[in-house]
Chains A and B, each alone.
Chain A
Amino acid sequence: MSKISVTQLQKGIFINFKNEPYQVTDFTFVNPGKGSAFVRTKLKNLKTAKVQEFTYKSGESVEEIPINIQEMQFLYLEGNMLIFMDKFTYEQYSLDKTMVGLFYQFMKTGETYQVLVHDNKAIGMRYPKKVKLKVVSAEEAVKGNTATGAKKIVELETGVKISTPLFIKRDDEIYIDPETGEYLERSK
């Protein structure tokens, strides 16, 4: 395990905080009025998904923890657990649904995802920048309603509904930003 200075923290890296694995989800430098510099972080507990804030002195160092990123196939949902299978070892891993938050609504069974593994346990996922999903139902665009910015609601194959531009039709494949749930573009 390697120690890094808190001034070198980056969003997304994994650290040991009070003997538990955490992911750094946000950080910013702060200086209390006329005082030393500090680094304020938002840390997500990888066991409970709880997010907390902690402010480090800028001279402190933290322990970065090794995380394996493994390609896994999403098999099915069992109760509240997502069941994955490693594509190379065929080993099965389970991950609490709450750990992936809103990303779950864009997940398809059979699809391959990147799963974070620590101590031989799945502790989270690395989300793609965009996901491609098929539109299964879409309202007809109202004629004449073509002012820029007009939107309509479509339903995707995973069951989630999102808003898209008017030209999106049933059976189109579209890209979505899984972090914001926003429509990005139509697949060609």
Chain B
Amino acid sequence: MQNQEKIHHKKSLPRSFYIREIVLQSIRSFFLDRNFHEVETPILLPSLIPESYLDVFETKLYDRRKKSKKLYLSTSPEASIKKLLSAGLGNCFEITKSFRNSETTSRYHNCEFTILEWYRVNADYRQIMKDCEKLLLHILKNIDDKLKSKNIEYKAKKITYQNHIIDISSPWKKISMKQALEKYCQISFDHITDNRFSKYTRLFNPYKIRKVAQSKGYNVSATNSWEEIFNQIFLNEIEPHLAQETKPVILYDYPSPMAALAKIKKNDPRFAERFEIYIAGLEIGDGCNELTNYWEQKKRFSAEMRLIKQKGKTARNMDQDFLKAMKIGLPDCTGIAVGVDRLVMLLSNAKTIGDILLFPQTDLFGV
């Protein structure tokens, strides 16, 4: 049965759809109370920042003479918001739709999804972590208030998700990737990086991590990158433990090959100032101290463009305006992307993302 039919049969709007309304309203009130600007950036774009792990949707714009121009659906509002930050806009947030292709057969992905991003200027990622704690408590309080008035029971500060009870009161549990690796996999970071070199590209020569992975029984080949091998160990040996925690977990300081658009740590270039938030095993948000160095950004983009080609993903135009904005100067800033649908899944105890969307891709496209 499609979700629209379920609503028809159940008459009262099912709880998860009502929770989405409260989540969206609560996010807005939270940031407006803190004097953030709410911005609206384009979904249809002529170019994207290169992210080799994502596949994109492309389409065409026709002028009146039927001459066409290739366009893409935005994969996240990050590049557009950073252009605004470099123009001096200051703290801001956006709730928008983003699109990622080739993400079917997953409980956690819908190709069209709702994303929340917010950025703080002249602040660091610890402040964003604090925002996350406060935002979730604010949302829960609103859910509690509104559901109570409708006689629907809800327990504030505690979330039950798929039989796990999570206490979301502050402070949340924080663990660095290095500590997690030692605690759950008994691997020291030195054992998987090559210390003979100081440059980080050489540090992450896959030779050592391949040996460690092989000794643990993983099937690795010479074509696997350091990131792939590391992530496989992470998904098999660390992530399942995060799902067992009774508090939300902030996993911080990722290995630099997974820096994406994050700053590298000054005192230890093996790590990037990036963090992820896991609640009951669901990956809810991905934040960092933003990279502001134009030259470093340009170098990372070239590497990503090469990877896109290598992996055979849809070719895309690179967002030169973004690099231009970085050259003019991006202020020191920190930000995060939060999957709003995942948040709704968590708050309404839904096993799959399709359960909480009024029109999920499984209903619309059958995939």
Residues of A within 8 A of B (CB): 18, 27-38, 40, 53-57, 59-60
Q: Is the CB of A57 within 8 A of B283?
A: no
B52 to chain A, nearest CB (A): 9
Q: Is the CB of A29 within 8 A of B105?
A: yes
Q: Mark B221-250, 1 if CB is under 8 A from A, else 0.
A: 001110110011011100110000000000
Q: Is the CB of B260 within 8 A of A34?
A: yes
- B260 nearest in chain A by CB position: A34
Beyond A55-B232, A55-B236, A57-B228, 19 extra complex contacts between A and B, CB < 8 Å: A28-B107, A28-B108, A29-B109, A31-B53, A31-B109, A32-B231, A33-B283, A33-B286, A34-B258, A35-B227, A36-B53, A36-B227, A37-B53, A38-B232, A38-B235, A53-B236, A53-B240, A57-B224, A59-B224
| CB-defined A-B contacts under 8 Å, sample of 17 | A28-B107, A28-B108, A29-B103, A29-B104, A29-B106, A29-B109, A30-B235, A32-B234, A32-B239, A33-B276, A33-B283, A36-B53, A37-B53, A40-B235, A55-B236, A59-B223, A59-B228
B334 to chain A, nearest CB (A): 16
Closest 5 CB pairs of A and B: A55-B235, A29-B106, A34-B260, A33-B286, A35-B231
Q: Residue A30 contacts which of B108, B223, B225, B276 (CB distance < 8 angstroms)?
A: B108
- B105 nearest in chain A by CB position: A29
Any A CB within 8 A of the CB of B290: no
Any A CB within 8 A of the CB of B366: no
Residues of B within 8 A of A (CB): 51, 53, 103-109, 217, 219, 223-225, 227-228, 231-232, 234-236, 239-240, 258, 260, 276, 283, 286
- A37 nearest in chain B by CB position: B53
B12 to chain A, nearest CB (A): 15
In Å, the complex CA distance between A53 and B225 comes to 23
Q: Residue A32 contacts which of B109, B224, B235 (CB distance < 8 angstroms)?
A: B235
- A9 nearest in chain B by CB position: B105
Q: Is the CB of B283 within 8 A of A32?
A: yes
In Å, the complex CA distance between A60 and B104 comes to 18
Given contacts A32-B235, A35-B227, A55-B235, is CB(A60)–CB(B105) below 8 Å? no
- A38 nearest in chain B by CB position: B235
Q: Residue B258 contacts which of A30, A35, A56, A57 (CB distance < 8 angstroms)?
A: A35
Task: Give every chain B residue within 8 A of A54 (Cβ-Cβ).
Answer: 236
B282 to chain A, nearest CB (A): 11
Task: Give every chain A residue within 8 A of B53 (Cβ-Cβ).
Answer: 31, 34-37
Q: Is the CB of B228 within 8 A of A36?
A: yes
B169 to chain A, nearest CB (A): 25
Residue from A27, A31, A60 with most neighbouring chain B CB atoms (10 Å):
A31
Given contacts A32-B231, A32-B283, is CB(A18)–CB(B236) below 8 Å? no
Task: Give every chain B residue within 8 A of A59 (Cβ-Cβ).
Answer: 223-224, 228
Q: Residue B217 contacts which of A18, A35, A36, A38 (CB distance < 8 angstroms)?
A: A18
Residue from A33, A37, A53 with most neighbouring chain B CB atoms (10 Å):
A33
In Å, the complex CA distance between A60 and B224 comes to 10
Task: Give every chain A residue within 8 A of B239 (Cβ-Cβ).
Answer: 32
In Å, the complex CA distance between A144 and B234 comes to 59
Task: Give every chain B residue within 8 A of A38 (Cβ-Cβ).
Answer: 231-232, 235
In Å, the complex CA distance between A10 and B14 comes to 31
In Å, the complex CA distance between A35 and B254 comes to 11
